[in-house]
Amino acid sequence: MTDDGNDPKQNDASLSSEGLPSGNLSDSSPSDSNLPDLVVVGAGLFGLTVAQQAAENGHTVEIIDVRSHIGGNAYSYFDKETGAEIHQYGAHLFHTSNKRVWDYVNRFTEFTDYQHRVYATHEGEVYPMPINLGTINQFFHAHYTPAEAKALIEQQAGELAGTDPTNLNDKGIQLIGRPLYEAFIKNYTGKQWQTDPAELPADIIKRLPVRFNYDNHYFKDTWEGLPKDGYTAWMERMIADPKIHVTLSTDFFDESQPLNKKALVGRVPVVYTGPVDKYFDYKLGDLKWRTVDFKERRYDEDDHFGCPVMNFVDADVPYTRAIEFKNFNPERRERQNPDKTVVWEEYSRSAGRDDEPYYPINTADDKQLYQQYKALAAKEPQVVFGGRLGTYAYYDMHQVINSALNAYDKQVGPLLVK
């Protein structure tokens, strides 16, 4: 095993946005005659979807992003040593039951038949996740039937059985009983969110399925898979239209370059997908986010964990999970190095202003603060706020795309009518 001690995000990005028109403009301020029909701030899935829809309807679009690549947190690249596709901002798994979204994404990529399964290590033993009959029987060294397991969970939920708690801690106990909750959820959640589970909304754990059979598929959606050629190739195809121009490594708030907030807002429709509190220079206070750090480990073996994702649910393990990227794409095995594998350990912590904001913490105070920012956003001339950062919401990829398609239909498209 090797560990270079470096931030893995510094690896060579061989699936970069090479070939896309980019580079800052040299004029101090764009003239009205040079303005595109639409400016999109942020080249993540929300911004790319809106840009694609606008170009398809005959409009010119300028996309700007402070990062050096397109794709937002779904960006990926191929690791030269192992041949694995690295998801630079953590594991991204596409799934949906929305036919409009499924038909839309299939315009730009084919998908593998990957079905996501997760395992968890607890006190030196590996269990299938999410919680299912196999997890329950293994944990209690029993052979419960589905009906017996349901009765056990209800008994262990105690006074919370049959209720609908609003915080994550009580909701977890109500869903799976106190012993399973404390073993598999409580400490993992504490590490993941850096917040007492009793202060987190119940909606977070409602996304976690609980099954009283032996089905350990993580998602229950109609369609699931990974893009055959990788995430970045998919997103490059989305904006392969001459009416779309991309400018990377460009800060929307930097007035020394022409594509800035002061020069554009009010003169051209803008879709903004960055943090909503940053847009308003944090004038009402900071919304709280969670960020993620990664530590890379390389092993001189073909397969280290035997699965793509291994959760570590105990409090004495500092990271929440380990991701072994080769195992997402078994169909690529012939093109991968059988003597090397790469694993990223994922560490969660609270985000500062200079960190990448991944997930909104969404306490009651945060929700109240966001509503104040939302009221300010509604007053911005010709600006549409979108994506998880722009709306302070937790979205899966299919939800981001769906919200972008709807935003184009209802908000952006009408702004482009001349």
Could you tell me the sign of the dihedral formed by the alpha carbons of 101, 104, 107, 108, in that order?
A: negative
Query: Nearest CA to 197 among 208, 185, 184, 179?
Result: 185
SS3 330: helix
Catalytic residues: 207, 211, 290, 321, 346, 394, 396
CA 374 to chain centre: 22
Count of CB atoms situated within 10 Å of the CB of 410: 10
Place of tokens 């105990």: 314
Note whether 64 and 41 are within 8 A (CB): yes
Quick one: pLDDT at residue 17? 34
> From CA 187, how far away is CA 315, in angstroms rounded?
5
Structure token digits, residue 122: 């607890």
Place of tokens 């070939």: 19
Quick one: pLDDT at residue 291? 94
DSSP string, 284-310: T-PPPEEEEEEEEEEESSS-SSSSSEE
> From CA 259, how far away is CA 64, in angstroms rounded?
8
SS3 40: strand
CA 181 to chain centre: 24
> From CA 363, how far away is CA 199, in angstroms rounded?
6
Query: H helices within 168-209, ranges in order?
Result: 168-176, 178-180, 187-193, 203-206
Note whether 12 and 77 are within 8 A (CB): yes
Note whether 133 and 142 are within 8 A (CB): no
Note whether 270 and 260 are within 8 A (CB): no
Structure token digits, residue 409: 């239909």
Determine how β-strand 76-78 pairs with β-strand 85-87.
Answer: antiparallel
Domains of the chain: 38-115+222-416 (3.40.50.720), 118-204 (no CATH)
Amino acid letter for position 201: P
> From CA 404, how far away is CA 399, in angstroms rounded?
8
Could you list the beta-strand ranges (E) of 93-190: 94-96, 118-122, 125-129
Place of tokens 């397969």: 303
Q: What percent helix, strand, coil does the chain show, rounded to 5?
A: 35, 20, 45
Quick one: pLDDT at residue 362? 81
Quick one: pLDDT at residue 11? 41
- pLDDT tens per residue, the chain (418 residues)? 444 444 554 443 333 333 344 333 333 445 566 899 999 999 999 999 999 999 999 999 999 999 999 999 999 999 999 999 999 999 999 999 999 999 999 999 999 999 999 999 999 999 999 999 999 999 999 999 999 999 999 999 999 988 999 999 999 999 999 999 999 999 999 888 877 888 888 888 876 778 999 999 999 999 999 999 999 999 999 999 999 999 999 999 999 999 999 999 999 999 999 999 999 999 999 999 999 999 999 999 999 999 999 999 999 999 999 999 999 999 999 999 999 999 999 999 989 999 999 989 888 899 999 999 999 999 999 999 999 999 999 899 999 999 999 999 999 999 998 6
